[in-house]
Amino acid sequence: MSGGIAYVLDVHHDVEGKVNQEMVELSSIEEPTEIAFVRGLIEDHHHYTGSELAARILLDFNRALPRFVKILPTDYKRVLEEEAAKAAEAKKNEYPLPILPGNPVRKAHEESKKKEREAEEKEKKKSDLLDIEESFGDAAAEKKRSALVLDKTKGFMKYQRRAEKYRNPKTRTRDWQELSSRLNEDELKFQTARCMDCGVPFCQSDTGCPISNIIPKWNELVFQNQWKDALNRLLMTNNFPEFTGRVCPAPCEGACVLGINEDPVGIKSIECAIIDRGFEMGWMVPSPPKYRSGKKVAIIGSGPAGLACADQLNKAGHSVTVYERSDRIGGLLMYGIPNMKLDKNVVQRRVDFMASEGVNFRPGTFVGEGDITLDSLRGESDAVVISTGATVARDLPIPNRNLEGVHYAMEFLHKNTKSLLDSQLADGSYISAKDKHVVVIGGGDTGNDCIGTSVRHGAKSVTNFELLPQPPPERARDNPWPQWPRIYRVDYGHTEVKTHMGKDPREYCVMSKEFVDNGEGKVKGINTVRVEWTKSATGGWDMKQVEGSEQHFPADLVLLSMGFLGPEDKVMGGAIEKDARKNIKTPPGHYSTNIPGVFAAGDCRRGQSLIVWGINEGRMAARDVDSYLTGVGTQLPVTGGIVKRPPYELLNKVDGAPKELITQAA
């Protein structure tokens, strides 16, 4: 060995006696950049080969690291040192002007680089025409040369964040099409150039992505124009990136290291671009499992958790049937999120894709009503997964709550989307906000969706009550990075109301006291009072009403968007044990209920949460179900796409080992 560097996993501490130490030098790996490089090599090896050894090393990389030995030929080391000395001398003689922080300076820098490229292109056009044979021969090389060249090493300093462009709020409220357009290829390359490939990528940590998407890796692959590899890497950890890339609030961006003092990398936009390109290029091809286990699984609910669980169990070879009470599959994805945020064609495309891979869907089936019950499904199936979501909405029990015109937000959104899909709202079977004073009580994504939907109906006015005070414009001291930033944000619905009605719809520190009757059993307004929040001596927050702050708001339509309390009881039939929060109770870190063979996943187990958490719940529940069905653990991956396997001593003693022990090990 006279050139190159070898990194050897020295398990038995015997590599020292197997090399000629007169020609090579042995050392441990200590440089952070070199450690990251070696880890990247192992990740790539696992990605392309599915190596079990690589997966086991990555599972506890810090423990395996001291076992690696770096083998460097002495001649090669001398050459490297000489090259490093030359590079250091050249850098010492340079005097580059520093790039100041801040988007205006970065913008000027990018514009100057753009002018340089344009000047170069003009010079090329002035050159003599090539011979036709030469032009054909060099076409590929010319395309490569003309591609956008960016500085990946210093991209986080040089380039500013590229955000998806929203359509004009004046015109987009006339239709139900998606709000924003995707970034083009050059914009995506600028965005991926900003990713620093951090030594500790917080974007995929506990405070970042719940499913541990390997974000720096597919950012790098997109930067290198290796889109298909980026797609494969993304699908290792996320079953539905077309959903999270559109509607997830992106906790990964909140935890981005660049976000400490700059705008974070636009991870969500890159994720969406990868999966959209996968469908456009025909790379997303249905792949039914080659072998079937003969086991049947029934999944109740077709939201993010139910679909993710179904997808994973189908890949494991089990026969999966998904039951959904609505007339279309998708749950929250289909009827809980308006079309302008998540086009229903995107949802249906994924449902059709899963069906072509062998998943059976039973829409219009309400488990718990009629012949199909939890007990009947247990009799027909080897395992049952409850993923019904947390659909019991929080009520507002104040005087005159029963007046006509007071509705839950999800009822309003569900009926609107169903009517839109059935007849483009021509059937009139939805709750209309046209020419009405609309009051939305409660914020969050659901409240914002109610605001945007009301504007599209043609509401006379829209007001949004929030009990809490207005968040600060920047992180508060008790909300440090990498926590999710609890800051003041302006979402699409707020922008649309301000554009059409002149002011932001939100009213903070407002408590609703009474709904006002118009004399005919319909709501005509709300009496409110302002509240004040003060910090108590124990560190908590106390709320008190402000005297003399009573105010009346006109309201012909009131939408309650105050969160959810838990799952409905009809499905469970009173047999499933619940915890103190009225969610389905399962052992810590597991998804099995008090009934053998019955599992729970998603908001019905965890409480209301994000779509990405639902996907994680479904994936992890599938591991428990697979372990239960096989009795020898599971090869389905944990978060991060890593496959954990039970110890060999358990696999070798399957007949004598308790199933609980094997399941726990998996």
Q: Looking at the structure, tell me whether residues 579 and 549 fall in a common domain.
A: no
> CA 218, CA 215: separation in Å to the nearest integer?
6
Position 138 in a domain: no
Q: Looking at the structure, tell me whether residues 576 and 553 fall in a common domain.
A: no
Q: Looking at the structure, tell me whether residues 612 and 539 fall in a common domain.
A: no
Q: Looking at the structure, tell me whether residues 312 and 422 fall in a common domain.
A: no
Q: Looking at the structure, tell me whether residues 421 and 505 fall in a common domain.
A: yes
> CA 556, CA 403: separation in Å to the nearest integer?
10
Q: Looking at the structure, tell me whether residues 575 and 594 fall in a common domain.
A: yes
CATH number of domain containing 517 = 3.50.50.60
> CA 243, CA 336: separation in Å to the nearest integer?
13
Q: Which two tokens stand for residue 239?
A: 């079953």
| % of the chain beyond a pLDDT of 70 | 89
pLDDT tens digit sequence for 546-570: 999 999 999 999 999 999 999 999 8
Position 334 in a domain: yes
Q: Looking at the structure, tell me whether residues 556 and 506 fall in a common domain.
A: yes
* Number of domains present in the structure of the chain: 4
**What confidence score (pLDDT) does residue 106 get?**
64
CATH number of domain containing 259 = 1.10.1060.10
pLDDT over threshold 80, residue 94: no
Q: Looking at the structure, tell me whether residues 47 and 78 fall in a common domain.
A: yes
Position 552 in a domain: yes
Position 117 in a domain: no
Of 562, 591, 618, the residue at which a domain comes to its end is 562
3-state helix, strand, coil in the chain (%, to 5): 40, 15, 45
Position 550 in a domain: yes
Of 101-110, 163-172, 265-274, the poorest mean pLDDT is in 101-110
- Residue 22's SS3 state is coil
Position 152 in a domain: no
pLDDT tens digit sequence for 37-77: 898 888 888 877 878 888 888 888 888 899 999 988 888 88
Question: At what angle are helices 185-193 and 215-223 packed, to 10 degrees?
Answer: 130
pLDDT tens digit sequence for 402-427: 999 999 999 999 999 999 999 999 99
Of 68, 93, 118, the residue at which a domain comes to its end is 93
Q: Looking at the structure, tell me whether residues 435 and 555 fall in a common domain.
A: yes
pTM (2 d.p.)? 0.81
Position 151 in a domain: no
For the chain, how many residues are written?
A: 666
Of 39-43, 131-135, 160-164, 613-617, the poorest mean pLDDT is in 131-135
Mean pLDDT of 585-595: 95
Range of the domain at 38: 6-93
pLDDT over threshold 80, residue 665: no
Residue 509: closest CA among 549, 550, 475, 469: 469
Position 149 in a domain: no
Q: Looking at the structure, tell me whether residues 32 and 47 fall in a common domain.
A: yes
pLDDT tens digit sequence for 232-254: 999 999 999 999 999 999 999 99
Torsion of the alpha carbons at 208, 266, 491 and 231, rounded to the nearest 10: -80
**What confidence score (pLDDT) does residue 145 get?**
41
- Residue 659's SS3 state is helix
Residue 401: closest CA among 509, 513, 563: 513
Q: Looking at the structure, tell me whether residues 179 and 276 fall in a common domain.
A: yes
Of 93, 128, 148, the residue at which a domain comes to its end is 93
Q: Looking at the structure, tell me whether residues 462 and 599 fall in a common domain.
A: no
